[in-house]
Amino acid sequence: MSYKCKIASLEELSKKYDYEIEIHPNDNKWKEFKKISLKNFNTRITYIGLLDDRIITEATAIISEDDLDMQNKEGLINKSTAYLTGFRSNKEYEGKGYFSKLYKYMESDLKQKGFKKLTLGVEPNEVKNMQIYFNWGYTNYIKTAYEEYPIYNENRQPEIIVVNYYYKNI
């Protein structure tokens, strides 16, 4: 099997979300993710990992303060700082090193584009993810804040989550 990393085109991104919407017919968050990603295509870079031409991993770097949907921007993004988000791997490929390869590709690309610092957010209860991020060098605490997550409760209200933000210099 052949795995490669690349920057997603608008068409690839749209197809990826159409696929997620199709396989999660009762989960409206994928429609919201698609709308946000396509609306902000010019302020974000979405990186994808393809295994035999099938997208199995993805991550997004928000590279502009002009992004319309990024929350808690202060201290997380500027001309030399990119905010990383949307880390996803297909379940059957988790723990096999594919996402780590995508992450290394993304970090290298952002460094080549002139970024000096990368930031990300993690919920305090996501211990496994936090350990991975610390291992990657995200040990510098920035702040804690609330975010609205596009998962709606029975009253059609967005879920409010607590997020700790960290950075690393590259």
Q: Which helix (H) or strand (E) holds 131?
A: helix 127-135
Q: For the segment 138-164, what is each residue's pLDDT rounded down to a tens digit? A: 999 999 999 987 666 566 677 889 999
Cα→Cα distances 115→119, 132, 152, Å: 11, 21, 34
The 10s digit of each residue's pLDDT in 86-98 is: 999 999 999 999 9
Q: What is the pTM of this model?
A: 0.92
**Digit-coded pLDDT (tens) for 33-80:** 899 999 999 999 999 999 998 999 999 999 999 999 999 999 999 999
Q: Which has the minimum average pLDDT: 23-27, 29-33, 133-137, 151-155? A: 151-155
pLDDT of residue 154: 64
What pLDDT shows up at residue 152?
Answer: 60
10 Å Cβ neighbour count for 67? 18
Q: Among 72, 69, 5, which residue's Cα sits nearest to residue 43?
A: 69
pLDDT of residue 62: 98
Domain boundaries, the chain: 3-169
For residues 114-135, give the mean pLDDT.
96
Strand residue runs (E) in the chain: 3-7, 44-51, 54-62, 81-89, 117-122, 140-152, 158-169
pLDDT at 53: 87
Q: 3-169 — its CATH code?
A: 3.40.630.30
